[in-house]
Structure 1
Amino acid sequence: MTTDNKSIVQRALTELIETGSTEGLEPLLSDDFVHHRPDSTSSTKAEWLAAVQAALTPLADMRVEVRHLLAEGDHVVMHSRRQLPGAGPEIVVVDIWRIEEGLITEAWEIIEPVAQAAANLAWWEAAVR
């Protein structure tokens, strides 16, 4: 099961990156797909696909290096480093995907600019003082 789930996520990302379109990604998402952001906002399948499609053109030359792709049960976790086009920043992204009946049903995403990582390591210090 976990190998199949990893394959589903790999296929979805390959379709997206190789074609520069969400057309091949769309059938891999369930109709009730939900995408969650750290700020507690969520988007539906249609909203998320529209946002991803809008970002594809300016990010067409983004480099993506998948560092880890792990699966456990119905969840797949991907840790990647991405270099935005031109002089754009390098970012680290953690995506968590939930698979149900062979389709991606839920996704969570956390993005951190590499240049800000050191500052984010000490977020708790102010609370401790």
Structure 2
Amino acid sequence: MTNTTPEQNKALVLEAFDTLFNKRDYVAAERFWSADYVQHSAHIAPGREGLFDLIRGIPATLKYEAGLILAERDYVIVHGRFSGFGGPVSWIAADILRIEDGVLAEHWDVIQDEASRTDSKSGAPMFGESFPA
């Protein structure tokens, strides 16, 4: 267990995601991800380089928006939207991260295609207050 607070861990995750996914600053991103990073996602190759290589291969129009973020002890869960990656619809993701020694050490995710207003049986958006334009 690290000596950081849940608030510090949330800030770390938000800065790390912005640095990698939005700014695409791979050199700066290295300071946020452990060299021994463990990836549990079925669609991302192992380790920090697996994640970085995935992002390198996605169009520069990729955008990440964070929504609800929760933290307890060394774990952070962030609910967000990935858009502009070349797919037919955006992805809504719940990313679960374990923090160790002040860096992202382990990751799990749950991802689904974002439903449009016409496809949403509930009539409620999956992310944020409104449906995307």
TM over 0.5: yes
Structure 1 residues 118 and 19 mapped into 2: Cα distance closer, same or farther (>3 Å)? closer
Aligned length: 115
Larger radius of gyration: 1
Higher strand share: 1
| 2:80 equivalent in structure 1 | 80
Q: How does 1:1-129 map to 2 (within 5 A)?
A: 1-38=5-42, 43-55=46-58, 58=59, 60-84=60-84, 88-115=88-115
| 1:124 equivalent in structure 2 | none
* Normalised TM-score (structure 1): 0.73
Higher helix share: 1
Q: CA deviation at 1:15?
A: 1.3
- Contact 2:22/2:63, CA 8 A, preserved across alignment: no
Identity of aligned residues (%): 27
- Which stretch has the larger CA shift, 95-104 or 45-54? 45-54
Gaps of 5+ in 1: 120-129
| Partner Cα distance (1:18, 1:8) in 2 | 15
Q: CA deviation at 1:118?
A: 6.6
* Normalised TM-score (structure 2): 0.71
Q: CA deviation at 1:84?
A: 2.7
Structure 1 residues 66 and 21 mapped into 2: Cα distance closer, same or farther (>3 Å)? same
| Partner Cα distance (2:68, 2:14) in 1 | 12
- CA-atom RMSD, angstroms? 2.7
Letter paired with 1:50: D
- Contact 1:70/1:78, CA 8 A, preserved across alignment: yes
- Give SS of 1:48's match: helix
Gaps of 5+ in 2: 122-133
| Partner Cα distance (1:74, 1:31) in 2 | 18
Q: CA deviation at 1:44?
A: 1.5
